[in-house]
Amino acid sequence: MTNSYTPINQIPTIYASLRATFRSGLTKPLAWRRHQLLQLARFVKENQDHLAAAIHADLGKPLQEVVMSETTLAFERTLICARDIEDWCRDENITNQVPDWQKGWNPRIVKQAKGVVLIIAPWNYPMILSLQPLYGAITAGCCALLKLSEFAPHYASFVAENLPKYLDNDAFRIALGGIPETTRILDFKWDHIFYTGNGRVARCIAAAAVKYLTPLTLELGGKSPVIVDATTDIYLAAKRTLSGKTTNCGQICVSPDYVLVERAVAAKFVDACVEILKEFYPSGALNTPSYGRIVTKEHCERLKDMLERTKGRIVAGGGMKLEEKGIEPTVIADVELDDSLMEGEIFGPFLPIVTVDSVDDAIDYVNDRDHALVLYLFTTNEATKAKVLENTTSGNVCINDTYTQLSMHEMPFGGVGESGYGRQGLRYSYDNFVYERAVCEIPYAEEPFLAPRYPPYTAESVAFFSQPMKAPIPYSTNPTDPKHKI
């Protein structure tokens, strides 16, 4: 592993080089893009063991977690992009959508690459969350600078050294570094910025983007709630919630942050959590290779302080080996709504359980706070599903499981409000880096039909253009009016 950061004085040269490459047209041919995508897939496949080892060195992430959510997902989705690139990039003919008098104008929508883009990747899922926007940029025909996180140094170093052996270095470059390097990178006029991380940094990036009105995709996080009602399978609800919470030690933007459980089944849910953690880690979580570690000692201290300030009752876990960056998955019951654990995103292996009187109370609590990246709901009641969907706002919703929604290739992923904006995943990753360019061709032969638009204007020409105003308005009534009849 090398700790060498990208020299700040080289950043302008890198930017200028990428800009020149895009203007040269190198990235336009679909065959070239497809080759780059297949090269990206080869990079993942041929280096999967090294990538897993690097991620483990940074995060202590178990091999199975890397395989499930990093290497396999990145490999599969890159191949899908290579397979479907022609369909995604094809012009959309809209002749059949326009009025008859405009059908001869050859109206169409062209998907055009935005240009030179910046991808700022996180540390917690360093591979899939760096390569997913990258394959989107490649498919779109953009040039890209990939800024990897300094908090995953083994992964960043390996990728910086080896990915250039697979991709065209004129079109795709990698930057390493911390705040000074990132700040300098943000000085330039990018055509799109894709950032994955937290809201605090996102605000800094958004402020830098304002200078050039640069479009953004922000994949953030927040407190993703779990609502558990009395109709569900309590054991499975607890098991699937803890599965999501313990993945990467809760250091994932879609980690279930806290539980709102109906009072009638709260004690049963807590007991199930205690039982399940014993099943997951018979020898203790910190004594098994099936459980990861916290990213830094500083984050460990933050989590330790958070747990010490809680007013809740620790019913499972709570053990720490800070010198090893190890913190056990910890279940805290009887948590009040004003508890320290409820203040901000936990981003760690703590699961606060809050008892509520009803699903309605849970909905009110969720709606009083920033919109979550994901809302999790455990219920077998169809009316409850409809009520929660209709009366809450979140980036995604997953019913009767946690975390596994990310495995669905066809689903868009992204937040709303404080949890971010924009979507990613396969075609949705591609969509970030193109814009829809409307194109039409007006035949000279239609000059007689268009002639009324020219001065001098007359009563007849005004009447001609006023024809659409003669269309009748359909009858309607206000459905909230007591006199309204269905």
Query: Residues 65, 70, 181, 219: which is the catalytic one?
Result: 219
Residues 47, 125: one domain?
Answer: yes
Residue that terminates a domain, selected from 348, 383, 414: 414
Residue 407 confidence (pLDDT): 87
Cis peptide before 12 (omega within 30 of 0): no
How does pLDDT run across 200-236, given as a tens digit for each residue? 999 999 999 999 999 999 999 899 999 999 999 999 9
Residues 409, 304: one domain?
Answer: yes
Query: Do residues 195 and 227 lie in contact, with contact meaning Cβ atoms separated by under 8 Å?
Result: no
Looking at the structure of the chain, the number of domains it has is 2
| R_g over Cα of the chain | 26
Residue 457 lies in a domain: no
How does pLDDT run across 20-56, given as a tens digit for each residue? 999 999 999 999 999 999 999 999 999 999 999 999 9
Amino acid code (one letter) for 426: L
Residues 253, 305: one domain?
Answer: yes
Active site residue 324: no
High-pLDDT (> 90) share of the chain, %: 91
Residues 61, 192: one domain?
Answer: yes
β-strands 256-262, 350-356 pairing? parallel
Residue 155 lies in a domain: yes
Active site residue 219: yes
Q: Is the model's pLDDT at 484 over the cut of 70?
A: no
Residue 455 lies in a domain: no
Residues 249, 142: one domain?
Answer: no
CATH of the domain at 203: 3.40.605.10
Residues 292, 234: one domain?
Answer: yes
Query: Do residues 277 and 242 lie in contact, with contact meaning Cβ atoms separated by under 8 Å?
Result: yes
Count of CB atoms within 10 A of residue 95's CB? 13
Cα separation, 428 vs 135, whole angstroms: 11
Residues 312, 284: one domain?
Answer: yes
Residue 235 lies in a domain: yes
Residue 478 lies in a domain: no
How is residue 234 written in tokens?
A: 């309590």
| Residues in contact with 289: Cβ distance below 8 Å, sequence separation at least 6, in sequence order | 62, 63
Residues 214, 228: one domain?
Answer: no
Query: Residues 253, 273, 300, 398: which is the catalytic one?
Result: 253
Task: Give me the half-sphere count of Cα atoms (radius 13 Å) on the Cβ side of residue 243.
Answer: 14
Count of CB atoms within 10 A of residue 32's CB? 16
Q: Is the model's pLDDT at 144 over the cut of 70?
A: yes
The phi and psi torsions of 451 (rounded to 5 degrees) equal -55, -35
How does pLDDT run across 368-401, given as a tens digit for each residue? 999 999 999 999 999 999 999 999 999 999 999 9
Residues 248, 384: one domain?
Answer: yes
Q: Chain-wide mean pLDDT for the chain?
A: 94
Residue 465 lies in a domain: no
CATH of the domain at 337: 3.40.309.10
How is residue 388 written in tokens?
A: 């929660």
Residue range of the domain that includes 253: 224-414
Residue 441 lies in a domain: no
Q: pLDDT band at 367, cuts 50/70/90?
A: very high
